[in-house]
Amino acid sequence: MSLEVRNLTKKYGDKTVVDNLSFKLEKPGVYALLGTNGAGKTTSLRMILGMLAKDGGEILWNGKPMDAMNMNVGYLAEERGLYPKYELMDQLLYFAKLKGVSRKVAKERIAYWAKRLEVEEYLYPKAVKGKKKEKPKMADQLSKGNQQKIQLMAALLSDPELLILDEPLSGLDPVNTDLFKGIIREEMEKGKHLIMSSHQMATIEEFCEDITILNRGKAVLQGNLNEIKKSYGRVNMFVKCDQAFNDIAEKHGLPVVTQTPDGTQYKVTGEAQATDFLKDLLANDKQVIKFELREPSLHEIFVEKAGTQNEEE
Amino acid sequence: MKKSDFTGWREVFRFAFEQGTKQKAYKGFIIFMCILTLASMPVLSLIQSLSKDEGPQKSGVSTVTVYDESGLNIDYAQALADERYQDVKIVSGDAGKFEEHTKKLEESEDSTEVAVHITYEETGYFSITYVKSADADIKSDDYNLLTDDFTNFFTEAKLRAVDVTEEQLAFISQEVATKVKGTTETGEIAPEQVKEEGISMTEYFVLLGGLMIVMLIIAFSSSSIATSIVTEKSTRVVEYLMINVRPLALIIGKILASLLMVAIQFGAIIISYLVSCIINGLIFGFESLNKTMEQAGEVAGLLSQVNPLTILIAIVFILTGVLFFSILAGVAGASVSKMEEMAEGLKTLNMLMIVGSYIGIFLCIMQLNGSKSELLTTIFCIFPLSAPFITPANLLLGNIGIGYTLISLVILWVLVLALFFFASRVYESLIFHNGKVLKTKDIIMLAKTKKKTVVKEEKQA
């Protein structure tokens, strides 16, 4: 199974919000769609899902035009939503029915995911002896995090072959973040195809092999994350010494990127410049506590790409 | 429009119906209406039987003093012969004492006396003056009834006073009919212009009742659809729904669900009415039930055009009207992003509904008066905004023919289809619109932009 997006374009009037976006998800795993707010991520996802009509391009699933209505797709929207005044169980059964899942299977799956996501108490009101049975819970009686869990359940109820998660971890506490991460990992292990948009770069690095960074509707960086990082080279140098060494850094023309109690980060042109600098530190009897040379993080790449583009425009 | 545009309407219909009927407000309304309807017949019978026990209501007037200076020799002892006046004393006043009596009445409080002064004026007419105290303890209804009855008695008595026989009296009491004719250019008498007769009060109430029922159905259906769409938009549920259901299927499912909910409400009310009649029969006897059925028959007798075909056309007409306003409600609801802005978003829709129903009420009044009603009935029964409210009832009453009804129905369907295409063009954009309420002109602009894009795409293809 594979997903291919070719020259996807969307315009609102004269404004192009997604401009010739292309990417491929050939094997199971998570594909990351990154970008600043308003970069066109959600619009792209909505076009892939067939919610929005595209103004150009193609979306292929297994080489054929994709029709989300006639395939098994799960979707967790960025702007979460449940009917506030309807019972949660009714809503989940409705969403499952829309996906063509029978009531019996849906109930089994709801039971599984309710346990897995620790929301059983909201879906199955307890009957306490001698007391009136609790009323089933409505969405507006749940915390934001628990509503998010119910929505993830709705996305997973049909056991989808393609799962699209728009900012799945935003607003979650660390415990629930780990719970969600565990489920994403499970889905990956099951061989599912996932597309994920997120602002949490560490999470993307944790799950995704391939990425696209969008800026104002255009793909400004695309490809395998490891290869992208390698292409930048090991240009991030972290140094911590007992004594001051700013004069030596200035002599080597190294610009300071960040300065924290944990050390100073410099941008170097390559390994040779870093080696020369280290040699100079040692030659000047500086006690080097920390010296690290590594590739840029996704966060740095993202800020560089998205930030620069924004400045240019 | 493709077949896939309607995929999922059944699921939407089922969910909307299940959730709608689960709502406390819906259940509460049905229970309230059923209780009200169940109680209606026995309560009416009880009121009737209570008023029968009391016998005819007696007049609050105790004495009528007649000062007759007309010169006619009339015996006023039988002036107030009705049972309600059995306790009323009629006294002849002394000539020239009327002014004095009037002053006395003015000074008195809680008086139940009435003074009547009858004169023949030199200018050639009879004059009757009735006087009671300003603080009299006489109900205005009693007073008005008494003066009317006394005047009627005097009108007949003055004719009898000149020895008119009963036969002659009946003859000259006939109403006067007038015919006004003109001449044509050739000097011939032009055909008489027939004065249009108005509808009866029963017909008027049938028309007005029909209008109110259709208005309730349309208002309920439109508001529930708009509320549901705004809820789905404001809570973002629509994002999830849109993967599986197309916007048109979403709106169709909702419209049908609200139609069924309305039908259930009316069904429950009708059943309650029948049960109420049976309860009434068991308590007060089935004579009162027969009377009710006779009254129902009287109404049914008016429905001269009723046959399976006209009933079918009327039902289709009402459903088409509901569809028309529901699509408008769907578009209006989709133009709103927040629940608190719903009233603003539905302004135009409400305005159209008010215009349509007010035209209907205006037509009912005109039909009652009979002035130009045939022309107006035809015009307003064809006009798409008012047609759903008045055409079905007018068809069943025979005020408009099947031909005109079908023309009106075709026009309404053309409009529904045009609106449906318009909605399908803008609905996708509207459903994802997030911001201030879109005005009608914004929505039209959106449709135009969309049309240009489609044409461009077709050219590219």
pLDDT digits 0-9 by tens, A248-288: 999 999 988 888 988 999 989 888 999 999 999 999 999 99
pLDDT at position B220 is 83
For the CA atoms of B103, B132, B110, B62, the dihedral, rounded to the nearest 10 degrees, stands at 120
What is the distance, to the nearest Å, from the Cα of residue B163 to the centroid of all Cα atoms in its chain? 49
Whether the CB-CB separation of B261 and B17 falls below 8 Å is answered with yes
Closest CB to A77 among B8, B239, B245? B239
Nearest to A61 by CA among A140, A135, A6: A6
- A121 assigned to some structural domain: yes
- Model confidence band, residue B69 (pLDDT cutoffs 50, 70, 90): confident
Nearest to B74 by CA among B131, B124, B120, B121: B120
Candidates B2, B22, B229, B244, partner chain A, best to mutate (most A CBs within 10 A): B244
* pLDDT higher at A42 or B202: A42
Closest CB to B236 among A67, A69, A77? A77
Calpha distance B289→B56 (Å, rounded): 23
A87 and A186 together in one domain: no
* pLDDT higher at B199 or A196: A196
- A59 assigned to some structural domain: yes
Inter-chain residue contact B241 with A99, CB threshold 8 Å: no
Say whether residue A14 is in contact with chain B using an 8 A CB cutoff: no
- A299 assigned to some structural domain: no
Say whether residue B127 is in contact with chain A using an 8 A CB cutoff: no
Say whether residue A171 is in contact with chain B using an 8 A CB cutoff: no
Calpha distance B406→A59 (Å, rounded): 47
- A179 assigned to some structural domain: yes
- Which of residues A232, A252, A284 is at a domain's end? A232
- Model confidence band, residue A105 (pLDDT cutoffs 50, 70, 90): very high
- Model confidence band, residue B442 (pLDDT cutoffs 50, 70, 90): confident
Amino acid at B310: T
- Answer whether 0.80 is exceeded by the pTM: no
A52 and A191 together in one domain: yes
Interface of A with B in 30-49 (CB under 8 A): 46, 49
Residue B233 has pLDDT above 90, yes or no: no
pLDDT at position B385 is 92
A225 and A177 together in one domain: yes
As given in the structure block, the two tokens for residue A141 are: 């009686």
The tens digit of pLDDT for each residue in A141-168 reads: 999 899 999 999 999 999 999 999 999 9
Taking CB atoms within 8 Å and a gap of at least 24, the contacts of B25-30 are B26/B261, B29/B265, B30/B264, B30/B265, B30/B268
Q: Name the residue range of residue A222's domain.
A: 1-71+161-232
* pLDDT higher at A236 or B371: A236
Helix, strand, coil percentages (3-state) for chain A, rounded to 5, are: 40, 30, 35
- A29 assigned to some structural domain: yes
- A307 assigned to some structural domain: no
Q: Are strands B63-69 and B113-121 parallel, antiparallel or unpaired?
A: parallel
pLDDT at position B458 is 45
Structural domain spans, chain B: 3-41+199-460, 63-168
Residue B134 has pLDDT above 90, yes or no: no
Average pLDDT on A43-69 reads 90
Closest CB to A82 among B15, B235, B432? B235
For A196, residues 6+ apart whose C-beta sits below 8 A from its C-beta are A30, A31, A32, A33, A164, A165, A166, A168, A184, A204, A207, A208
Say whether residue A118 is in contact with chain B using an 8 A CB cutoff: no
Q: Is A180 left (phi over 0), alpha (psi -120 to 50) or beta?
A: alpha
Say whether residue A127 is in contact with chain B using an 8 A CB cutoff: no
A35 and A63 together in one domain: yes
A1 and A134 together in one domain: no
Say whether residue B18 is in contact with chain A using an 8 A CB cutoff: yes
A3 and A62 together in one domain: yes
- Model confidence band, residue B304 (pLDDT cutoffs 50, 70, 90): low
As given in the structure block, the two tokens for residue A234 are: 């090991």
How many beta carbons lie within 10 A of that of residue A238, not counting itself?
Answer: 17
Residue B293 has pLDDT above 70, yes or no: no
pLDDT at position B389 is 93
- A155 assigned to some structural domain: no
pLDDT at position B297 is 53
Q: What is the ipTM of this complex?
A: 0.78
Say whether residue A73 is in contact with chain B using an 8 A CB cutoff: yes
- A90 assigned to some structural domain: yes
Question: What is the total count of domains within chain A?
Answer: 3
- Mean pLDDT over all residues of chain B? 82
Sign of torsion over alpha carbons B89, B90, B93, B98? positive
A35 and A133 together in one domain: no
Query: 3-state class of A7 per DSSP?
Result: strand
In chain B, % of residues over pLDDT 90 = 15
What CATH number does residue A243 fall under?
A: 3.30.70.1150
Q: Which residues of A touch B8 (CB under 8 A)?
A: 69, 98
A165 and A123 together in one domain: no
Q: Are strands A15-25 and A3-12 parallel, antiparallel or unpaired?
A: antiparallel
